A and B are shown apart, each in its own frame.
Chain A
Amino acid sequence: MLTFKLQRWSAIALLVFLTIHMIFMHYVPPFHISFDVVQARLSTPTWKIIDILFLFSVLVHAMAGSYQVITDFESAFNYRKALAWASVIIVILAFVYGAKTIWAFQL
Chain B
Amino acid sequence: MSNNDTQRTVTVRIQRFNPDVDKKPHMQDYQVKMWPGMTILDALHEIKTHQDGSVTYRRSCRHGICGSCAMHINGRNTLACKTPIINEVKKNNTVTIGPLPYLPVIKDMVVDRTSFWEQYLRVKPWLIPPDDIPEREFRMSQEEVDALHDAEACIMCGACYSSCAVIGLNKKYLGPHALLKAFLRVLDPRDTAPGERLEIVSQADGVARCHTIFNCIDACPKGLNPTQAIETLRKLAQKRQKYEEAKAERQKHLNEPIPS
Contacts and interface: CB of A to CB of B under 8 A. Distances in A.
Contacts of B211: 72
B104 to A, nearest CB: 14
Interface string A80-96: 10000000000000000
A3 interface: yes
A3 B171 contact: no
B54 interface: no
Task: Classify the interface of chain B: helix, strand, loop or mixed.
Answer: loop
Interface string A1-45: 101100000000000000000000000000000000000000000
Measured as residues with beta carbon below 8 angstroms from the partner, the interface class of chain B is: 10 to 19
A73 interface: yes
A72 B166 contact: yes
Contacts, number: 30
Task: Classify the interface of chain A: helix, strand, loop or mixed.
Answer: helix
B186 interface: no
Contacts of B203: 1
Contacts of B204: 1, 71, 77, 80
Interface string B171-205: 11000000000000000000000000000001111
A4 B208 contact: yes
A77 B205 contact: yes
A3 B208 CA distance: 8
Contacts of A4: 207-208, 234
Interface of A: 1, 3-4, 68, 71-74, 77, 80
